[in-house]
Chains A and B, each alone.
Chain A
Amino acid sequence: MSIAARTTAVGLGGEGAAPSVPHELSELAQKRVIVGYGFWIFLLSDIVMFSTFFAAYAVLVNETAGGPSGRDLFHLDVVAFETAFLLLSSFACGVASIGARAHRDTMYYGAMAVTALLGAGFLFLEVHEFVGMIGIGAGPQRSAFLSAFFTLVGCHGLHVTLGLMWLLTMMAQVFAKGYRPDILRRVLCFALFWHTLDIIWVAIFTVVYLLGVVV
C-alpha cells in the first residue's frame, strides 16, 4: 500500500477513495490525518497563548521596580543543562514514536522512559531555579518583570508537567491495549505536543535567558 494511495482518501469522507484502497484501510489513514491535523490546530492555539505571555514579558521586562533584573538572576550554565535535557528528550520521544510504529516494545518503553527521565530532570532544574530565586526575595511578587518571567517560564513548566502525566498514561495504555490504531494516534499527538514544548523552550531560551543576560 503506497502512501499516495492512502492519502487520496483524505478529505473525501471515506467515499470516493482510490478504488484500490480497501474501505477499512482508507478509513484508518483518514482518521490518522484528521486527528493529527486537529491536534496541530490545537497546538497552534497553544502557541498563540504562549505568544501572549511572551508579549507581556516583552512589555514588562524592564519594569524591575528597583529589584533584580535578568542579568542578576539568570545562570546560563543551568539553562544550558535544561536546554540539553529538553532537546535530548525530544530526540528520545522521536525514537519512541518509531518504536511504537514498529511495534517494538523495548524501543518504545525504553525511549519513553528516557523521555520521562529527561523531562523530569528539566523540571527539577527549573523548580530548583525558581526556589532559589524566591529564596533570595526575587519571587513573582517582587516586580512586574518577575511576574511575567515566572508566568511565561512557569506556564512552559506546567505544560511539561502535564506532558509527563500524559507520557505515563500513554505507556500504560500501550501496555494495557497494545499498539492499536487509536492508541498510536494518541502517541502521535503526544509526540507533537512534546516537540512543540521544545520549540517554545527555544524561544524562551532566546528571548528570556540569552537576551536577558546579553542585552
Chain B
Amino acid sequence: MLGKLTWADIPLDQPIPLIAGVGAFSIVGLVVIYVLLKGWGPYLWREWITSVDHKHIGVMYVFLAAVMLLRGFVDAIMMRSQQALAFQAPGYLPPDHYDQIFAAHGTLMIFFVAMAFVIGLINIVVPLQLGVRDVAFPTLNSVSFWLTATGALLINISLVVGEFSHVGWLPFPPLSELRYSPGVGMDYYLWSLQISGVGTLLTGVNFVTTILKLHAPGMTYMRMPVFCWTAFASMLLIVAAFPVLTATLAMLLLDRYLGFHFFTNEAGGNVMMFNNLIWIWGHPEVYILVLPAFGVFSEVFSTYSGKPLFGYRSMVAATMVICILSFTVWLHHFFTMGAGADVNAVFGILSMIIAVPTGVKVFNWMFTMYGGRVRYASPMYWGIGFIVTIIIAGMTGVLLAVPPADFLLHNSLFLVAHFHNVIIGAILFGMFAGYTYWFPKAFGFRLDERLGKAAFWCWFVGFYLAFMPLYVVGLMGMTRRMQHYDNPAWYPWLLVAAAGAAVILVGIGFQIAQLVVSIRNREELRDTTGDPWDGRALEWSTSSPPPPFNFAVLPHVEGTDAYWLMKQRARERGAPEPEPAYQDIELPRNSATGFVCAFFAAILGFSLIWQIWWLAALAFVGAFATFVVFAWRDRTEYRIPAAEVARIDRENRAARRLALAQMEPAE
C-alpha cells in the first residue's frame, strides 16, 4: 500500500537530521499558523501564492533562495567544523551522515540557492528593463516557480522521512546505481531535480520568448541593458542544456527503477557516458549562473560611476561568445578519464579561451569606473570585491585547464576552492549586489547601508579565510569529501578555514539584521521617486514598487541607458514629460494553477521516491486535470480603467516633479 515506506524510515537513531528537520518543519508550521491567525491568509493567497505578476514571483524566488541559503550554510558549517575536529579523530558526524551533508550542501546551493536567486532577480528586473508589462507567459511563470519550490520541499522532506543522497552534488555512477546506493536518498535527489528542472526549463522558454519578442517601442536588441543580454544568454543556455540534464537523470532513473544498463558495470553499460552527458549540462550551468551576475555588476558599475557602461558592444559580444563557448569545454571536468593527450589538449585550450571574453568584461568594468564620479554604495563594495576575487578564480581556473596540472589537482580541495571562488566570489556577490541594488524597486524602501557594508566585509574576509587555506591543502594533496584525516600538515589550515566559515556566519547575521532594521526604519528609507540611485535603465522610470501594470504607458526608447536620456531631456526642459493619454490596461488574472500543479507534483515525486504507484498515478491525473481546468477558463484578463491608471501614475509623477525641482539649483 505504501510502497517502500515504513516507520523504520523515520531516522529516530540519527538525532542531528531528525532534530534539525523537526525543528525546521515546526518553525514553518508555526509561521503558517501565525499567518492564518493574523488573518493574512487571503492576502498571501491573492497577492503572492496565486500571483502571476513577475515581480511577486521574483520576490518569492529570492525568498526561497534565502531560506535555502540558510539551510545550505548550516551544512557548510557542519562540514567545516567536522574537518576541524576530525584530525586523528572521528569528529562528531558519522561518515554516512557526513556524505549526505556534502551532497545536500552542493545540491541545495546550486539548484535552490544560486538558480533561484538568479531566476528571481531576472524575474523582477528583466520585464521592467525591457519596458513591458509582464513576461510572455505569466501563468507558466508561476508554474515554474512552484515546481522549483516543490523540488526544494522534497529535498527537505528527506531530512525527516528516509535519507538523502550520499553521492555528492552530482550522482556519478556506478556509486549512484541501485547496487551501491540502494536507499531512497538517491531517488530523493533524482526526482527533486527532475521536477525543479521542468520548472527551470519552462522559465528558460518563457524568458527567451520575452526577451526576443516583447519590447517597449524603440527597445531594439542593441539598446537592451546588459543585464537583459546576460539574462538572455543564461536562458538560452537553460533551453539548450537542461533537457540534457533531464535526459541523463532519466537514464539513471531507468537504471535504478527498471534495471536498464545505461551506466552499470555489466551488460555493456558505459559509466563515462554519464560523465560526458552530465557535464554537457554541468559546464553551461556555471555560465547560466554567472552570466546574470556579470549583468548585475554591469548595471551596478555604470550606475554608481555615473557613466554609460564602457564598451557596451564588446560586453554583449563577450556575453554571447561565452554562451557558445560554454558548450565546448565540458571534458575539462574529467581530463583524468584518459581520453588521450590530443583530446585533453583541445579541451584544455578551449577552456583557456573562455578567459578571453571574461577578461574583456573585467577591463570593461574597470574602465567604466575610470574617470567616473564613483559613489561607494554597498553594491559597489560587492562589485569591487568581486573583481578582485574573480581574477583569482579565473587564474586558478586557467591553471586547472592545463591537463597535466589537472591530473595532480583533480578532485582535490584545490578544485573545491576554485569553484567556491567562482560561486561565492562572482555569483553570490553578484546576487547580493543585485539584491541591495533592486531591493527598493521591489519593496519601495532602501536597505540599511551600514549593516550592508558590514555584511560585505564579513563575507569578503570570511571567504578568503575559508577558501584560501583549501587551495593550500589541495596543493598538499588533500582530496575533497574527507570525513577524517591524519595528516598534521593539513590541520592548521583546516582550523583557519573553519574560522572563515564562522566569519561568514557573522556576515549572514548582519544581513538578517540589515533586513530587520531596514523594515523597521522603512519610512526613513522610503524611495519616493522610484529612482533612488540616479539609475539609467527603464526599471527606475516607474514607481517603487511598480504598479501591477509596470508602466502607465509603454516608454519610448531612444538609445541605450533609456531612462538616463529621458532624465536628461527632463532636466533640459526643466519639467518631466507632458502627461500622456491614459488608456485602460488589461492584465492577466491570478491563477492557482501553479500552486495546485506543484501540489500534485510534490505528491507525484514523493510517491515515485517511495514507489507508491497508485498514488503516483492519482497525482499525475490530478496534475493533468489542473491544466485542463486552467485551459477551460473563459476570462483570462482583467481591466484596470484609465482613471485608475491615471491616479496611480500622477502620484509618481508628482514625486518626480518634486525631486526634479529640488535638483534644479544644484545643476
State whether B209 touches A38 (Cβ < 8 A).
Answer: yes
Size bracket, chain B contacts: 35 or more
Known contacts A49-B244, A144-B261: A56-B269 contact under CB 8 Å: no
Q: How far is the CB of A52 from chain B (nearest CB, A)?
A: 4
Residue of A nearest to B140 (CB): A38
State whether B268 touches A140 (Cβ < 8 A).
Answer: no
Which of these binds chain A: B235-243, B286-294, B476-484?
Answer: B235-243
Q: How far is the CB of B328 from chain A (nearest CB, A)?
A: 16
Q: How far is the CB of A153 from chain B (nearest CB, A)?
A: 13
State whether A45 touches B268 (Cβ < 8 A).
Answer: no
Residue of B nearest to A142 (CB): B267
Residue of A nearest to B247 (CB): A52
Q: How far is the CB of B566 from chain A (nearest CB, A)?
A: 16
Per-residue 0/1 for A154-178: is the Cβ within 8 Å of any B Cβ (1 yes, 0 no)? Answer: 0000000000010001000100110
State whether A141 touches B201 (Cβ < 8 A).
Answer: no
Please tell me if B273 contacts chain A, counting CB pairs below 8 Å. Answer: yes
State whether A37 touches B268 (Cβ < 8 A).
Answer: no
State whether B239 touches A41 (Cβ < 8 A).
Answer: yes
State whether B553 touches A15 (Cβ < 8 A).
Answer: yes
Per-residue 0/1 for A27-66: is the Cβ within 8 Å of any B Cβ (1 yes, 0 no)? Answer: 0000001110110011011101100110110011001110
Residue of A nearest to B634 (CB): A177
State whether A173 touches B247 (Cβ < 8 A).
Answer: no
The residues in A between 8 and 32 inclusive whose CB is less than 8 angstroms from any CB of B are 10-16
Which of these binds chain A: B32-40, B86-94, B251-259?
Answer: B251-259
State whether A63 touches B270 (Cβ < 8 A).
Answer: yes
Size bracket, chain A contacts: 35 or more
**Residues of A contacting B259 with CB < 8 Å?**
140-141
State whether A49 touches B267 (Cβ < 8 A).
Answer: no
Please tell me if B568 contacts chain A, counting CB pairs below 8 Å. Answer: no
A7 to B247, CA, bound (A): 37
**Residues of A contacting B632 with CB < 8 Å?**
173, 176-177
Known contacts A59-B273, A143-B268, A151-B260: A42-B254 contact under CB 8 Å: no
Q: How far is the CB of B8 from chain A (nearest CB, A)?
A: 29
Q: How far is the CB of B617 from chain A (nearest CB, A)?
A: 14
Q: How far is the CB of A137 from chain B (nearest CB, A)?
A: 13
**Residues of B contacting A148 with CB < 8 Å?**
262
Residue of A nearest to B218 (CB): A16
A15 to B557, CA, bound (A): 12
**Residues of A contacting B225 with CB < 8 Å?**
none
Q: Per a CB cutoff under 8 Å, which of A38, A144, A150 touches B267?
A: A144
State whether B217 touches A45 (Cβ < 8 A).
Answer: no
State whether B260 touches A141 (Cβ < 8 A).
Answer: yes
State whether B262 touches A60 (Cβ < 8 A).
Answer: yes
State whether B251 touches A42 (Cβ < 8 A).
Answer: no
Q: How far is the CB of A134 from chain B (nearest CB, A)?
A: 12
State whether A60 touches B212 (Cβ < 8 A).
Answer: no
Q: Per a CB cutoff under 8 Å, which of B204, B277, B628, B631 touches A56?
A: B277
State whether B243 touches A144 (Cβ < 8 A).
Answer: no
State whether B270 touches A34 (Cβ < 8 A).
Answer: no
A145 to B262, CA, bound (A): 8
Known contacts A41-B209, A182-B636: A144-B240 contact under CB 8 Å: no
Q: How far is the CB of B70 from chain A (nearest CB, A)?
A: 32
**Residues of A contacting B213 with CB < 8 Å?**
10-11, 33-34, 37-38
The residues in B between 613 and 655 inclusive whose CB is less than 8 angstroms from any CB of A are 624, 628, 631-632, 634, 636
**Residues of B contacting A195 with CB < 8 Å?**
none
Q: How far is the CB of B150 from chain A (nearest CB, A)?
A: 20
Please tell me if B215 contacts chain A, counting CB pairs below 8 Å. Answer: yes
State whether A64 touches B268 (Cβ < 8 A).
Answer: yes
Please tell me if A103 contacts chain B, counting CB pairs below 8 Å. Answer: no
**Residues of A contacting B277 with CB < 8 Å?**
52, 55-56
**Residues of A contacting B515 with CB < 8 Å?**
none
State whether A13 touches B215 (Cβ < 8 A).
Answer: yes
Known contacts A13-B132, A52-B244: A60-B270 contact under CB 8 Å: yes
**Residues of A contacting B212 with CB < 8 Å?**
11, 37
Residue of B nearest to A16 (CB): B217
Q: Per a CB cutoff under 8 Å, which of B201, B258, B628 touches A140?
A: B258
Known contacts A41-B209, A63-B270: A34-B214 contact under CB 8 Å: yes
State whether A169 touches B628 (Cβ < 8 A).
Answer: yes
State whether B243 touches A46 (Cβ < 8 A).
Answer: yes
**Residues of A contacting B215 with CB < 8 Å?**
11-13
Please tell me if B542 contacts chain A, counting CB pairs below 8 Å. Answer: no
Known contacts A65-B268, A145-B268, A173-B631: A140-B260 contact under CB 8 Å: yes
**Residues of A contacting B554 with CB < 8 Å?**
13-15
Residue of A nearest to B551 (CB): A13
The residues in B between 161 and 204 inclusive whose CB is less than 8 angstroms from any CB of A are 201-202, 204
Known contacts A13-B132, A48-B244, A49-B246: A144-B270 contact under CB 8 Å: yes
**Residues of B contacting A48 with CB < 8 Å?**
239-240, 243-244
Please tell me if A83 contacts chain B, counting CB pairs below 8 Å. Answer: no
**Residues of A contacting B10 with CB < 8 Å?**
none
A173 to B262, CA, bound (A): 41
Q: How far is the CB of B397 from chain A (nearest CB, A)?
A: 26
**Residues of A contacting B243 with CB < 8 Å?**
45-46, 48-49, 52
**Residues of A contacting B419 with CB < 8 Å?**
none
Q: How far is the CB of B262 from chain A (nearest CB, A)?
A: 6
Residue of B nearest to A182 (CB): B636
State whether A59 touches B270 (Cβ < 8 A).
Answer: yes
Which interface residue of A10, A33, A65 has the most chain B CB atoms within 10 A? A65
State whether A56 touches B136 (Cβ < 8 A).
Answer: no
Known contacts A52-B244, A53-B247: A15-B273 contact under CB 8 Å: no
State whether B209 touches A37 (Cβ < 8 A).
Answer: yes
Please tell me if B320 contacts chain A, counting CB pairs below 8 Å. Answer: no
**Residues of A contacting B83 with CB < 8 Å?**
none
Residue of A nearest to B216 (CB): A13
Residue of A nearest to B583 (CB): A23
Please tell me if A196 contacts chain B, counting CB pairs below 8 Å. Answer: no
A7 to B634, CA, bound (A): 26
Residue of A nearest to B240 (CB): A48
Q: How far is the CB of A16 from chain B (nearest CB, A)?
A: 4
Q: How far is the CB of A212 from chain B (nearest CB, A)?
A: 16
Q: How far is the CB of B92 from chain A (nearest CB, A)?
A: 42
State whether B268 touches A60 (Cβ < 8 A).
Answer: yes
Q: How far is the CB of A95 from chain B (nearest CB, A)?
A: 23
Show 29 A/B contacts (Cβ-Cβ < 8 Å), sorted by A. A13-B133, A13-B216, A33-B213, A35-B137, A37-B213, A41-B208, A41-B209, A48-B239, A52-B243, A52-B244, A52-B248, A59-B270, A60-B262, A63-B267, A64-B268, A140-B254, A140-B258, A141-B258, A141-B259, A142-B267, A144-B261, A144-B264, A144-B268, A145-B268, A165-B624, A169-B628, A173-B632, A177-B632, A186-B631
Question: A48-B244, A141-B261 given. 12 additional CB < 8 A pairs?
Answer: A11-B214, A12-B215, A13-B214, A13-B215, A14-B554, A38-B213, A45-B204, A48-B239, A48-B240, A141-B259, A145-B268, A173-B631
Spell out A's residues near B (CB within 8 Å).
10-16, 33-35, 37-38, 41-42, 44-46, 48-49, 52-53, 55-56, 59-60, 63-65, 140-145, 147-148, 150-151, 165, 169, 173, 176-177, 182, 186
- Closest 10 pairs between A and B when the two form their complex, measured CB to CB: A63-B268, A144-B268, A49-B243, A52-B247, A16-B217, A38-B209, A147-B260, A48-B243, A65-B267, A144-B261
